[in-house]
Structure 1
Amino acid sequence: MLFSKAYVRKTKRGSVIKVLKEHYLRDDIYCGVPGCQRCPEHTTTLSAEPRQTTAVRSPHYIVPDTNILYHQIDVMEHAAFVDVIVLQTVLEELRHRSLPVYNRVRALTAEPARRFFVFCNEHHRETFVQREPEETPNDRNDRGKPFNRRRPIRRAVEWYSAHIDSKRAVVLITDDRANRAKAKDAGITALSLRQYVESLSGFPELVDMVAAVGGDDDDDMDASAADKKFVYPEHLSPTQISAGLKSGAFHQGVLNISAHNFLEGSSMIRVNNEEVIVQIIGRENLNRGVQGDVVALQILPKSEWRSGVSTVLEEEVVEKDDLEEPTTDAATVDKTLDKALQEPATEQELKPTARIVGIIKRNWRPFCGTIDASSVHAGSTSTQMQSVFFWALDKRIPKIRIRTRQAQSLLGKRIVVAIDAWTKNSRYPAGHYVRTLGEVGDRATETEVLLLEHDVPFAPFSPLVLSFLPEEGEAWVVRDDLHLANREDFRSWDVCSIDPPGCTDIDDALHARLLPNGNYSVGVHIADVSHFVKTDNAMDLEARRRGTTVYLVDKRIDMLPGLLGTNLCSLRSNVDRLAFSCLWEITPDAEVVSTRFTKSVIRSKASLTYDEAQARLDDPKMTDSVSMSIKALNMLAKKLRARRMAAGALTLASPEVRFRMENDSQDPVDVELKELKDTNALVEEFMLLANIYVARKIYECFPECSMLRRHPKPPATNFEDLGKALEPFGVKIDASTSRTLSDSLDAAVDPNDPYFNKLVRIMTTRCMMQAVYFCSGTLAEPDFWHYGLATDIYTHFTSPIRRYADLVVHRLLAASIGYDKTYSSELTDKAKVKEMSDVLNYRNRMAQQASRSSVELYTNLFFKGKTVVEEAYVIRILKNGCSLLIPKYGVESFVYAAPVPNQPPLLALHPTMNALTGAGPDGEVVIKLFDKVRVQVTVEEAGVAAAQRSKLVLRLVEPNVPGMCPVVETSTARPLGGAATTPARTTRPAKKPKRK
């Protein structure tokens, strides 16, 4: 049976074409029910004997509607849900509404044990329903108009009920009351999701997991969920927002909540083709925006602009746990707080402020955290439903009100909660429980939490992904008869690798040898990962999804299966390996004479650590071929570096540390700053050179679709605070070009403090923009500029084992040199390369944040049970305290002006000096930026009632302000896990040096 539909549409060029769509209907599509007498036998995932419940007494299959899968996917992914029929109509609507949810459903249908069966109802003659004129897809799929009884979802369930034998039933699951009523009229069994899960025995947690989305079935929601005394401004409609964005009245931006203050936000917007950072201050102006939301902003009048001096504020300190309607006192606290945040400033200090008028795209995700113990009703039973507050570990996320029957058992546990809604008359968003992770403070649990919080995929590689590994496994070797075609053989060359100790994913090696003409042949050889990972297979798609290898203190989350990353692709010494080589002829003055690229086979002569390579450099007696190669490379690298510095490349800094761990317990027993040697710079210099020359090559061949990397110039406003702070030292920051900034940093020297220059460079790093991947066809050439490296073009080529962007560049380069003549069309699709770049930028950002969180976790473990006094530097002045950096440990934390909560502050902000002042024994104490102080460092434990992790607490010791540090002592407690003499090793999860 054939349906034909003709319509006209307008093309991008403005012409009108007629389109004819044909829709074929069949009557032999298998229903999926085992033992069906009306369908020919097929293999199916559904059970022949599905479960029964108290609500549905007969064995039954369930059919969820679109909204159930869209809003309640967390519940549907629970192991309790099996024997589910997913309609084609539902899948198609899901794909248009939310691709991530669609992919999660498809994953369920691909897992045989879950027994999710897809039924093609849109192509079955008896279940197809034609769309009426002027009928929306939602009307067609679910409710239907009064004169239409048989909508696709209900029609499919009705057909199933008549089609299968009477011993088994089919149940429609929908939260739409009108839809259930229509189903009942048609003789269909229909239940809400809450009704269904309450009838399931053995899964009490499912009731907590049902999302509160404001549907018709939410009659039993707590009446106190709405705060009648607090009302946010109404969000504008999408039409109003769109009109305002076009007219310039509104601006689009991504909301970033301050890590120090939940009532301060900011966003970067474009005003008159310039990027401007605006502040969003106060609960009303934030207007239910959540960290990461894409919002519509309206700039406030200049009379409401405020200074950039921030306040550290934690919500739990100032708010009551108002599960019922908030008291007048709570409302007064809000008004007082908002007013305090908006204190006026001088004309020079004013910065633009804005308010959120609407939400363009929500960034809600599952959040990890804990139940607020003070919100749990005393004496409540394990089965009593109650409203409690959830604190997310991310301090930028507001409290979330959830309803649960497990309140008592969830105390002291890390759990996952999702936001469902945030109505204008509710002070806090409403959400639902998803799952429990483990005990607060447990190291494995806390590590899983930080991976989830930063959206790091860490599940084991699936059997499908692993099926694309070489069949020989670890026995795979380079074979001349299979692998030398179109490759050059460099196995006789003196190639070596230089990496951190313990590194197993060696993706780069180098060589240098003197040519007869006095020049040098120099090569960077990179693991040929693209030989093993072919475009668009399951392994490639998984690597693309992960984006990058994530390095934690105690382990790493690999982008590729270990067989490749640490074995077959790793350029180990004394084994043949496939490589992609970048070769130069370079003069002794480090001038590049020629460049070429080739696929190759190499055999590394040595896998050296930085210390081992440095020893060869420093020892004049080491004259073997590998040592002489390293010395030549070092000589050339210094000249290349000098030329880069002269061009304006920046040398920045960060307080990176590494931990020494006990061999048995893996507890941290020491912290040390990372030391950079000449060999670090040697490797970095040639990796940079290879990345630049590869970028030029792929851009020459693929000017519209090359994956490149840029570092945008930072706005001058980013350096205002730093510039003011450096004025008393006679240092002027000029960031108009990277060269002027580099000169400014070189001049930032305090003869009395050798650490001063590094501190300035650390603070300058925080004024920079993030370097990002981009598609060459989406920007003009001047915007390709890499500000930090002072180069006109750049990409990532040298780390394909741990970065997917490098793998894409390898494929582009292979096509550029004619090695790959059948490359994927995806490489030349500008839209797809741009989309891929955006995903990789996100994954890279999340990986960096996860690494920092891991360091923070282990820093807290290191200081657990200790009290130490150390030197620190003031790096930021705020209204109620200052941020300090402890160089010895790379630790940054906050000292409050009021060390005891709710007590008068002992330090006060001096606005004109941008300093904190207080009373000392010998007169006034003044604390300014860059001042050196001494602080007491302790760890505040996270007990059962604590929402956050254990946190580092700093108290000011010197200068002496009475009351700032009641007790000053240095602990002599033994390190964690045993005596200080316990053998230890340095934990460094094989992290490569940064390649900028």
Structure 2
Amino acid sequence: MNDSILLEHIARLPHARAAFKQLVRELGAKGATRKQLEESLERLEQSGELAQPRPGHYVLTRLNREYAVGRVAAHRDGYGFIVVEPPVEGISGDLFLPPGEVDKAMHGDKVLARIPRIGPQGRAEAEIVRVLKRAHHDVVGEFRVRRNGCFVIPHDDRIRQWIFIPEGMELPERKSADRVGARPVAATDPGDLNGMIVVAQILEYPSEDEAAVGRVIEVLGHADDFGVDVEIMIRKHHIPHRFPDEVIAAARDVPQRVNEEEMQGRRDFRGLDIVTIDGETARDFDDAVWVDRLVNGNWALQVHIADVSHYVLAGSAIDREAAARGTSVYFPDRAVPMLPVELSTEICSLKPQVDRLVLSALLEIDNTGAVVRQEFMRGVIHSVERMTYTNVHLVLEGDGEQRERYAPLVKRFEMMRDLAEILNRKRVRRGSIDFDLPEPLVEFDEFGEMAGVRRAPRNVAHRLIEEFMLAANEAVAAHLEEMEWPSIYRIHEPPDARRVADFEQIAAHFGYSLGVGAIPVSRHHVTDRKRDGRKINRDILLVDERRLEVTSRQYQKLVAKIEGKPEERILSYLMLRSLKQARYSEENSGHFALAAPTYTHFTSPIRRYPDLMVHRILSASLDGKSAPFSGRQLRAVAADCSFTERRAAEAERELVEWKKLKFMAGRVGEDFAALIIQTAKFGFFVELENLFVEGLVPIDSLPGERFGYHENTRKIVGERSKRVFSIGDQVRVVLDRVDAVEKKLQFSLFEPAPRKKKARRGRS
């Protein structure tokens, strides 16, 4: 029995529900046996695509608001949420898991949940029906010897269950200890491991009554040992970091030179002065570009992307591993690549002065930035130069030495700059948002410790490559959508009305607005549940999302209005927070921030799996074949790619935050200029200027009097003096405490001691 046929059949039934006997009767006529049907139903139930509200009755979960599939996001305080993808219609945000319910699964597990009811403003609680896929086969944590046995306390405090290590399983086997990443251990007794960071394989998962059981398979060392922090992040976030033997063998078998046979049927671009432009430390060059002016006054833009799909065949060992990784992960001292180095930095990388296979997007663009003609093809290039953003920037800024060094390319770079400006103006006209927020670039010493932080450079060379990649991605997306083929899109949905309303309230205090007009709200009395499970009664304001319309152009206009103003940093930060996170989807719903009706990721197949999938779909279209993937297949791939993207971002961000924490540990007692970025009833959060470090100033630490939090205005106000602390205020703070366990910084307000008045001399 074909699973897709069964799902399509149930989807056509009233309420997407069916009884087993009904399916036997209706599908039996199509040749499906009872056994085949039972096997198919079991598979689909295990995957979460079907649920059984009662025995023998099935419902299609994606078309039923009573069920949802998502990943558990547990909180260390005992509650949690289910992050649903794709979102459930009528539900705002994630599904709440009350204390007790969250312990039915572990953080990150993929679960099927039942939604008993949907409350005001689209909020909903959930009950876990079944764990569909475990997120953790092993856990990294601190080994502890206790009176009642040995345990591993997970480093991730969202995993609330300790792992019990039975006697005889405390020390890793020799074959495990010799693995890359593990450290040689001379321990002969479990006590030798006490306080060390280890990896425990889970043998038995926890239940509501029983603890998890595991065995130690790796010893990483002490948390402060050099390089252990990266090893912890890799394992905490379950980033695949060892290529299986079959993948290594397959990668070594890939020829490292392009031969004549492989060039057959490809457009030859080797006679053009095509270049790559990347950062100084980059080694995997996905893209190369070329620009020219046509005789009709239009522009020719060629974007050549490494043809990874030529080397990584769908379903191969390398492909399966790439899908599991989803993306390359970049840490300060190393990268965890999606593909083996034989591919990522060798045959697929568009190195200079060697032939390389590419998938090419050829765009003809007029002087308004409109694409008047586009063509896609397989090609072969011979990059003439490996350029850096810095060198191209210097050339365009008139640096004599660099212009002489790259004299044959100067005119080409100037044309690139001019075309990029045209493309940017087109995006601005349609309402594309460009937050020019400073990106922190953390600098490290030779020991891997943070030495400082500075603003990452973003010059004209960065912007021209950005414009060219955006144009190519849009063109490919439009081509595939026009063919009406199932594909993967990069979507960015409009912001939630509640978040827009929150931003408008704060912006109003600075005298700004998005211009959405009067926000349609109504007051309701509700019973809600606190994080610890207790119920409270309160009034809430509900925003009518149907009557609140916001466009990217409104965001864009406000970004332009605050440019260069003192409040630019905080309002840009808050605007960014009001937006949703972009994700991958098999359904195109446009890209809000780019103001693009259709968008995909095509330009980075060496480091992003969705790009590789788009290459395969585009290649099939060039060959005149039928669509290579079904919508159902791509739905699963899109969800997995969104997950692996978030996983990588969280690991990269968390490691940098940990480095910052250790950096600040030596600066307790120092004072810093800071910006208030958030207020709450327990205090306000600040970001230190020029350090991009955040921390809390507790409300009870504010000097001189009692302070209270005014929820309506989000201000903290002194009861006697009426002194006010608001979002966007600049303050000076002192670092009081670095909490290594909670990974938090605590500050207090810096109040310089008043100067003593000099005593007046009496008249003589």
Q: Please report the TM-score for the alignment, with normalisation by the length of structure 1.
A: 0.60
Q: Mark the runs of 5 or more structure 1 residues left unpaired by the alignment.
A: 1-6, 24-91, 101-235, 303-350, 943-947, 963-996
Which letter does structure 1 place at the counterpart of 2:195?
Answer: G
Counterpart pick for 2:136 among 365, 380, 385? 365
The number of equivalent residue pairs is: 664
Q: Mark the runs of 5 or more structure 2 residues left unpaired by the alignment.
A: 1-19, 171-189, 517-548, 755-764
Q: In the alignment, which residue of structure 2 is the partner of 1:774?
A: 585
Distance in 2 separating the partners of 1:546 and 1:246: 26
Pairwise mapping of residues 135-146 of structure 1 onto structure 2 (< 5 A)? none
Alignment CA distance shift 1:907-1:22 (3 Å):
closer
Distance in 2 separating the partners of 1:432 and 1:637: 57
SS of the equivalent of 2:415 reads helix
Distance in 1 separating the partners of 2:601 and 2:63: 39
Distance in 1 separating the partners of 2:47 and 2:122: 36
Q: In the alignment, is the contact (CA less than 8 A) between 1:521 and 1:586 conserved in 2?
A: yes
Distance in 2 separating the partners of 1:886 and 1:93: 56
Distance in 1 separating the partners of 2:87 and 2:679: 29
Q: In the alignment, which residue of structure 1 is the partner of 2:257?
A: 477
Q: In the alignment, which residue of structure 1 is the partner of 2:745?
A: 953
Q: In the alignment, which residue of structure 2 is the partner of 1:746?
A: 560
Q: In the alignment, which residue of structure 2 is the partner of 1:799?
A: 604
Which letter does structure 1 place at the counterpart of 2:391?
Answer: E
Pairwise mapping of residues 739-888 of structure 1 onto structure 2 (< 5 A)? 739-748=553-562, 751=565, 753=566, 756-775=567-586, 779=587, 783-818=588-623, 827-867=628-668, 868-888=670-690
SS of the equivalent of 1:895 reads strand
SS of the equivalent of 2:369 reads coil
SS of the equivalent of 2:93 reads strand
Pairwise mapping of residues 130-279 of structure 1 onto structure 2 (< 5 A)? 252=68, 254=70, 262-263=78-79, 265=81, 273-277=89-93
Alignment CA distance shift 1:713-1:650 (3 Å):
same
Q: In the alignment, which residue of structure 2 is the partner of 1:637?
A: 420
Alignment CA distance shift 1:588-1:647 (3 Å):
closer
Alignment CA distance shift 1:909-1:300 (3 Å):
farther
Compute the displacement of 1:800 (Å). 0.9
Pairwise mapping of residues 479-494 of structure 1 onto structure 2 (< 5 A)? 479=259, 481-494=260-273
SS of the equivalent of 1:283 reads coil
Counterpart pick for 1:651 among 407, 413, 434? 434
Distance in 2 separating the partners of 1:271 and 1:588: 40
Counterpart pick for 1:731 among 512, 522, 539? 512
Which letter does structure 1 place at the counterpart of 2:607?
Answer: R
Distance in 1 separating the partners of 2:88 and 2:447: 58
Q: In the alignment, is the contact (CA less than 8 A) between 1:450 and 1:850 conserved in 2?
A: yes
Pairwise mapping of residues 18-167 of structure 1 onto structure 2 (< 5 A)? none
SS of the equivalent of 1:858 reads helix
Measured on the aligned residues, the alpha-carbon RMSD in Å equals: 4.2
Compute the displacement of 1:696 (Å). 1.6
Alignment CA distance shift 1:768-1:639 (3 Å):
same
Does 2:695 match 1:893?
Answer: yes
Q: In the alignment, is the contact (CA less than 8 A) between 2:226 and 2:448 conserved in 1?
A: no
Q: In the alignment, which residue of structure 1 is the partner of 2:713?
A: 913
Which letter does structure 1 place at the counterpart of 2:585?
Answer: F
Q: In the alignment, is the contact (CA less than 8 A) between 2:91 and 2:118 conserved in 1?
A: no
Compute the displacement of 1:796 (Å). 1.0
Compute the displacement of 1:787 (Å). 0.8
Alignment CA distance shift 1:669-1:829 (3 Å):
same
Distance in 1 separating the partners of 2:257 and 2:253: 11
SS of the equivalent of 1:685 reads helix
Q: In the alignment, which residue of structure 1 is the partner of 2:530?
A: none
Alignment CA distance shift 1:846-1:399 (3 Å):
same
Compute the displacement of 1:704 (Å). 3.7
Which letter does structure 1 place at the counterpart of 2:250?
Answer: F
Q: In the alignment, which residue of structure 1 is the partner of 2:160?
A: 398
SS of the equivalent of 1:658 reads strand
SS of the equivalent of 1:784 reads coil
Q: In the alignment, is the contact (CA less than 8 A) between 2:203 and 2:215 conserved in 1?
A: no
Alignment CA distance shift 1:952-1:806 (3 Å):
same
Q: Please report the TM-score for the alignment, with normalisation by the length of structure 2.
A: 0.76
Distance in 2 separating the partners of 1:260 and 1:960: 38
Q: In the alignment, which residue of structure 2 is the partner of 1:617?
A: 396
Alignment CA distance shift 1:816-1:267 (3 Å):
closer
Compute the displacement of 1:609 (Å). 1.1
Alignment CA distance shift 1:958-1:713 (3 Å):
same
Q: In the alignment, is the contact (CA less than 8 A) between 1:925 and 1:959 conserved in 2?
A: no
Distance in 1 separating the partners of 2:241 and 2:421: 40
Compute the displacement of 1:432 (Å). 2.2
Alignment CA distance shift 1:247-1:690 (3 Å):
closer
Q: In the alignment, is the contact (CA less than 8 A) between 1:653 and 1:762 conserved in 2?
A: no
Distance in 2 separating the partners of 1:932 and 1:367: 45
Alignment CA distance shift 1:291-1:732 (3 Å):
farther
Alignment CA distance shift 1:290-1:887 (3 Å):
farther
Moved more, 727-736 or 267-276: 267-276
Compute the displacement of 1:826 (Å). 7.9
Alignment CA distance shift 1:758-1:16 (3 Å):
same
Which letter does structure 2 place at the counterpart of 1:601?
Answer: V
Q: In the alignment, which residue of structure 1 is the partner of 2:14?
A: none
Which letter does structure 1 place at the counterpart of 2:224?
Answer: G
SS of the equivalent of 1:640 reads helix
Which letter does structure 2 place at the counterpart of 1:834?
Answer: R
Q: In the alignment, which residue of structure 1 is the partner of 2:99?
A: 283
Q: In the alignment, which residue of structure 2 is the partner of 1:316?
A: none
SS of the equivalent of 2:575 reads helix
Counterpart pick for 2:480 among 691, 694, 698? 698
Q: In the alignment, is the contact (CA less than 8 A) between 1:8 and 1:17 conserved in 2?
A: no
Distance in 2 separating the partners of 1:444 and 1:365: 23
Q: In the alignment, which residue of structure 2 is the partner of 1:506?
A: 285
Q: In the alignment, is the contact (CA less than 8 A) between 2:276 and 2:288 conserved in 1?
A: yes
Compute the displacement of 1:638 (Å). 1.1
Compute the displacement of 1:524 (Å). 0.8
Compute the displacement of 1:652 (Å). 2.7
Q: In the alignment, which residue of structure 1 is the partner of 2:366?
A: 587
Does 2:478 match 1:712?
Answer: no
Distance in 2 separating the partners of 1:785 and 1:688: 14
Counterpart pick for 2:732 among 913, 930, 934? 934
Does 2:354 match 1:575?
Answer: yes
Which letter does structure 2 place at the counterpart of 1:742?
Answer: Q
Compute the displacement of 1:940 (Å). 3.3
Pairwise mapping of residues 517-556 of structure 1 onto structure 2 (< 5 A)? 517-556=296-335
Distance in 2 separating the partners of 1:918 and 1:401: 47
Which letter does structure 2 place at the counterpart of 1:931?
Answer: D
Compute the displacement of 1:620 (Å). 7.8
Q: In the alignment, which residue of structure 2 is the partner of 1:669?
A: 451
Q: In the alignment, is the contact (CA less than 8 A) between 1:559 and 1:803 conserved in 2?
A: yes
Compute the displacement of 1:892 (Å). 2.6
SS of the equivalent of 1:511 reads strand
SS of the equivalent of 2:663 reads helix
Counterpart pick for 2:227 among 444, 455, 463? 444
Distance in 1 separating the partners of 2:97 and 2:313: 49
Compute the displacement of 1:773 (Å). 1.8
Which letter does structure 1 place at the counterpart of 2:710?
Answer: H
SS of the equivalent of 1:277 reads coil
Distance in 2 separating the partners of 1:917 and 1:794: 46
Q: In the alignment, is the contact (CA less than 8 A) between 2:143 and 2:196 conserved in 1?
A: no
Q: In the alignment, is the contact (CA less than 8 A) between 2:701 and 2:748 conserved in 1?
A: no
Q: In the alignment, which residue of structure 2 is the partner of 1:50?
A: none
Which letter does structure 1 place at the counterpart of 2:746?
Answer: L
Moved more, 834-843 or 908-917: 908-917
Compute the displacement of 1:601 (Å). 1.6
Compute the displacement of 1:857 (Å). 2.5
Q: In the alignment, which residue of structure 2 is the partner of 1:113?
A: none
Compute the displacement of 1:16 (Å). 2.4
Q: In the alignment, is the contact (CA less than 8 A) between 1:909 and 1:916 conserved in 2?
A: yes
Distance in 2 separating the partners of 1:416 and 1:793: 43
Distance in 1 separating the partners of 2:249 and 2:63: 54
